[in-house]
Amino acid sequence: MVPTRRTWNLGATPSLRGLWRVGRAGEPEPGMARPAPASPAARPFPHTGPGRLRTGRGKDTPAGSSEEDSGIRSAARPALAQCRAVSVDWAGPGSPHRLYLTLQALQDKGCESKSQGTKEEKLPKRQVPAPKRDREAQEAGGAMNVEKTGGRLFGSGRCSSLSGPPGAAPMVHRMVEAMSQLQEEKAQLQEELVALRERLAVRDSDQQATSTQLQNQVEHLKEKLISQALNESQARNQHLQEQVAMQRQVLKEMEQQLQSSHQLTAQLRAQIAMYESELERAHGQMLEEMQSLEEDKNRAIEEAFARAQVEMKAVHENLAGVRTNLLTLQPALRTLTNDYNGLKRQVRGFPLLLQEALKSVKAEIGQAIEEVNSNNQELLRKYRRELQLRKKCHNELVRLKGNIRVIARVRPVTKEDGEGPEATNAVTFDPDDDSIIHLLHKGKPVSFELDKVFSPRASQQDVFQEVQALITSCIDGFNVCIFAYGQTGAGKTYTMEGTPENPGINQRALQLLFAEVQEKASDWEYTITVSAAEIYNEVLRDLLGQEPQEKLEIRLCPNGSGQLYVPGLTEFQVQSVEDINKVFEFGHTNRTTEFTNLNEHSSRSHALLIVTVRGVDCSTGLRTTGKLNLVDLAGSERVGKSGAEGSRLREAQHINKSLSALGDVIAALRSRQGHVPFRNSKLTYLLQDSLSGDSKTLMVVQVSPVEKNTSETLYSLKFAERVRSVELGPGSRRAELGSWSSQEHLEWEPACQTPQPSARAHSAPGSGTTSRPGSIRRKLQPSA
Ligand SMILES: Nc1ncnc2c1ncn2[C@@H]1O[C@H](COP(=O)(O)OP(=O)(O)OP(=O)(O)O)[C@@H](O)[C@H]1O
């Protein structure tokens, strides 16, 4: 094994330290470049550096050159021998270094043998014995026989002679060469050594600087740690001091508490002592009391015993009495038991008794019910009789009032009448007679008598009260006709339809019908149907039909009853006023789609609302049918007189014709003529069955009160009076009929001027319509 170290300290000899170095050329210092190895041919002993003996003079000195040298050498010899021994140990057998060492040993031996005689005794104690050394040389030299050389094999310059057996010279030469090579290597090693020393010095200085730095850091850290520790210890100290102060305080308080508790204990002790003394005293008292109580008790016991003896005696006496009583009570008990048994038997038989009682009660109740039923039947009969009577009375009342009645209603002066003398009031009333009306026409007062006259102050309800009886008779199965007659703008539509807030006859009549029908619902079943029609220019149209343009015809019923009907006229069944309003809404829509100027049109046409009330008496099955015709007639002003032409004249002719026909029919009816000219107009023909027979007719003549309309008012009132004044006698009736020709209706009162166009300015196109419930004849209503 080759040791890793490259430098050996040659023992304790100070003079040789650093001088004797054996290096291995092939092992460079870590981190250093390895020197290029010499070729094996050039280096016969590779890896072997020859040792060099230094004298300390700085250069190689030939051995034995001087006595001084030899002295030194001899002095160093033991150390050298020691080194060699070490080297021999290190160098492996056969290695060049071993060879070198062997040679060196031989040299030394040669020298020694030369001076053997003189210096044998001076030899230092050899550490390696000769035989060993020879063995080593033998091992190193291989074929070279060291024993044969006898120490004369070779020598350095120091040997005085170099002789040997023949053939030793070349070997010496080779050895010399090897030596020189070794020297060269040694020089190289020295250089390396110098470089190493420099590096070592640099490293030392680095280490020194680093250590200084580390030292500084350590110092700094130390200071820091010390200061930190100092701070901490100060804080801790302060904290501890505070705690100590607190503890002291607590201790102080505890001491105070202890003191106070000591005081308290002393007080308590004193109290306890006091209580103990009191207890003792109380104990003594108690003992005394107990003794006195014991005495009392004994006394009481003695008394009680004496009393008990007395009472016992009394009880014994009582017992004797009770015993005697018991003997007397026994028969009473026996009778009670007998009674009880009897009752028991009765209870057992009670259900049977109850059943019998129930039977009899049921029979009584059945009898009572039968009696009540018969009473009810009687009452029903009476009620029906009363009903018939009421009907008769009502009819009598209506008859007394007249089947055909004429009333007048004067509307108030409105904004539409304008201002000035033309808008002054020309109508007055008789405060004592509500059937008289006075008209100031062209300065001349004219008076008329009708069945009733309503002033402008009369409300819708007042007017309705007058017609209410007619509506009720419709429920009883009578036909009723109510007409509104008068010039345009006189208030016909207001009276018939009214406003949403203040409805007119139409809606009130239907409300009354529904109320009456509901009242009679227990006995009668009623169905109410509604139809709406319009007559314009003598053409009848269905306002509730799907095709309002279609012309309708009035036909005789094919069943031979003689009644009339209108094929295709729509009939809606209604159950409430809301239903009616829906129906009218539909009718209004039909009208508005048909005519652009609805107001104008509505003034020139007759609007009919036909309400049919069909009833069945639930008990008798009796059927009734009543018809209520509510007619808003076309304006009665005589447009034809004004010389109107074309369609306007045609309209006027149709209106006049139909109104004259109506007058004729009413006159014929009042005079009970055999022939009533119903067929003279569509209006009268349609209303034929509602005007004839037991039918009741009411005409409301609408009057405008203002000065400018007095001519038309006069005409309307004259017409109304004539209708009313027709006598009921047939002769007189007939005699009166002559004045009701349609021609007269057109040409009546020639002195009157043709009235100006209606004062009511309600025909402005495009100003919209006002919704009126229960209205089929809607108009543009000027603001009230
Ligand atoms: N009694 C009344 N109280 C208050 N206002 C009334 C009364 N009568 C009529 N009027 C008003 O007078 C105006 C004309 O009335 P309405 O339209 O009813 O006349 P008309 O006779 O039906 O006309 P037309 O022949 O054109 O149908 C309306 O604005 C209406 O509100």
492 is in an annotated binding site: yes
Distance in Å, CA 498 to ligand 1 centroid? 9
Instruction: Return the residue whose CA atom lies nearest to atom 26 of ligand 1.
Output: 603
Tokens of 451: 């069945």
Distance in Å, CA 704 to ligand 1 centroid? 9
490 is in an annotated binding site: yes
Nearest Cα neighbor of 681 from 554, 571, 506, 596 is: 554
Distance in Å, CA 495 to ligand 1 centroid? 8
Q: Which atom of ligand 1 is nearest to the CA of 496?
A: 18
The span from the CA of 683 to the CA of 492, in Å, is 17
Bridge partner residues of 629 (DSSP): 481, 610
Distance in Å, CA 539 to ligand 1 centroid? 25
ipTM, interface predicted TM-score of the complex:
0.98
Contacts of 779 (CB under 8 A, 6+ apart): 493, 598, 599, 602, 762, 769, 770
Q: What are phi and psi of 266, to 5 degrees?
A: -65, -45
Look over the chain and give the mean of its residue pLDDT values, rounded to a whole number: 74
Distance in Å, CA 412 to ligand 1 centroid? 9
Distance in Å, CA 739 to ligand 1 centroid? 30
The span from the CA of 536 to the CA of 601, in Å, is 8
Nearest Cα neighbor of 668 from 404, 304, 413 is: 404
Instruction: Return the residue whose CA atom lies nearest to atom 27 of ligand 1.
Output: 603
Q: Which atom of ligand 1 is nearest to the CA of 779?
A: 17
**Residue ranges lining ligand 1, Cβ < 6 Å:** 411-412, 414, 486, 488-494, 602-603, 635, 702, 760, 779, 781-782
Instruction: Return the residue whose CA atom lies nearest to atom 10 of ligand 1.
Output: 491
Distance in Å, CA 701 to ligand 1 centroid? 12
Q: What is the DSSP letter of 531?
A: E
Instruction: Return the residue whose CA atom lies nearest to atom 25 of ligand 1.
Output: 488
Q: Is 464 helix (H, G, I), strand (E, B) or coil?
A: helix
Distance in Å, CA 658 to ligand 1 centroid? 22
487 is in an annotated binding site: yes
* Residue located via tokens 């009718």: 587
State the CB neighbour count (10 A cutoff) for residue 499.
17
Residue to mutate (ligand 1; options 407, 409, 414, 425; most atoms within 8 A of CB)? 414
Distance in Å, CA 134 to ligand 1 centroid? 171
Distance in Å, CA 702 to ligand 1 centroid? 9
> Tens digits of per-residue pLDDT, 59-73?
444 444 455 555 655
Q: Which atom of ligand 1 is nearest to the CA of 758?
A: 26
Instruction: Return the residue whose CA atom lies nearest to atom 31 of ligand 1.
Output: 494
Instruction: Return the residue whose CA atom lies nearest to atom 14 of ligand 1.
Output: 489
The span from the CA of 557 to the CA of 642, in Å, is 42
Distance in Å, CA 497 to ligand 1 centroid? 10
Instruction: Return the residue whose CA atom lies nearest to atom 1 of ligand 1.
Output: 411
Residues of the chain with pLDDT under 50: 1-65, 90-92, 111, 113-134, 136-165, 596, 727-774, 779-784
pLDDT score of 60 = 42
Distance in Å, CA 277 to ligand 1 centroid? 122
Orientation angle between helical segments 130-141 and 96-114, nearest 10 degrees: 140
Q: Which atom of ligand 1 is nearest to the CA of 458?
A: 1
The span from the CA of 87 to the CA of 283, in Å, is 123
Q: Which atom of ligand 1 is nearest to the CA of 497?
A: 18
Nearest Cα neighbor of 698 from 482, 377, 418 is: 482
Q: List, as one string, the DSSP characters of 159-225.
A: SS----STTHHHHHHHHHHHHHHHHHHHHHHHHHHHHHHHHHHHHHHHHHHHHHHHHHHHHHHHHHH
Residue to mutate (ligand 1; options 415, 427, 457, 493; most atoms within 8 A of CB)? 493
Q: Which atom of ligand 1 is nearest to the CA of 488?
A: 25
For strands 623-632 and 480-485, give the pairing: parallel
Q: Which atom of ligand 1 is nearest to the CA of 635?
A: 25
pLDDT score of 454 = 95
Bridge partner residues of 462 (DSSP): none
Bridge partner residues of 539 (DSSP): 536
How far apart, in Å, are the Cα atoms of 625 and each of 29, 50, 616, 687, 768? Answer: 147, 166, 9, 15, 39
486 is in an annotated binding site: yes
Tokens of 123: 């030899």
Instruction: Return the residue whose CA atom lies nearest to atom 15 of ligand 1.
Output: 491
Distance in Å, CA 773 to ligand 1 centroid? 16
Q: Which atom of ligand 1 is nearest to the CA of 409?
A: 1
Residue to mutate (ligand 1; options 407, 409, 410, 411; most atoms within 8 A of CB)? 411
Q: Which atom of ligand 1 is nearest to the CA of 781?
A: 29
Q: Which atom of ligand 1 is nearest to the CA of 599?
A: 26
Q: Is 68 helix (H, G, I), strand (E, B) or coil?
A: helix
pLDDT score of 9 = 38
Distance in Å, CA 488 to ligand 1 centroid? 8
CA-CA-CA-CA dihedral for 350, 351, 353, 355, to nearest 10: 160
774 is in an annotated binding site: no
Helix (H) or strand (E) holding 781: none
152-168 as b/e: b if 16+ CB within 10 A: bbbbbebbeeeebeeeb
The span from the CA of 453 to the CA of 457, in Å, is 11
The span from the CA of 143 to the CA of 146, in Å, is 9
Distance in Å, CA 691 to ligand 1 centroid? 26
Q: Which atom of ligand 1 is nearest to the CA of 602?
A: 27
Q: Which atom of ligand 1 is nearest to the CA of 486?
A: 21
488 is in an annotated binding site: yes
Residue to mutate (ligand 1; options 414, 462, 494; most atoms within 8 A of CB)? 494
Instruction: Return the residue whose CA atom lies nearest to atom 7 of ligand 1.
Output: 411
Nearest Cα neighbor of 655 from 608, 709, 606, 703 is: 606
Distance in Å, CA 352 to ligand 1 centroid? 83
Nearest Cα neighbor of 26 from 8, 50, 10, 49 is: 49
State the CB neighbour count (10 A cutoff) for residue 717.
25
The span from the CA of 251 to the CA of 25, in Å, is 87
Contact present, 415 and 371 (Cβ < 8 Å): no
Instruction: Return the residue whose CA atom lies nearest to atom 2 of ligand 1.
Output: 411
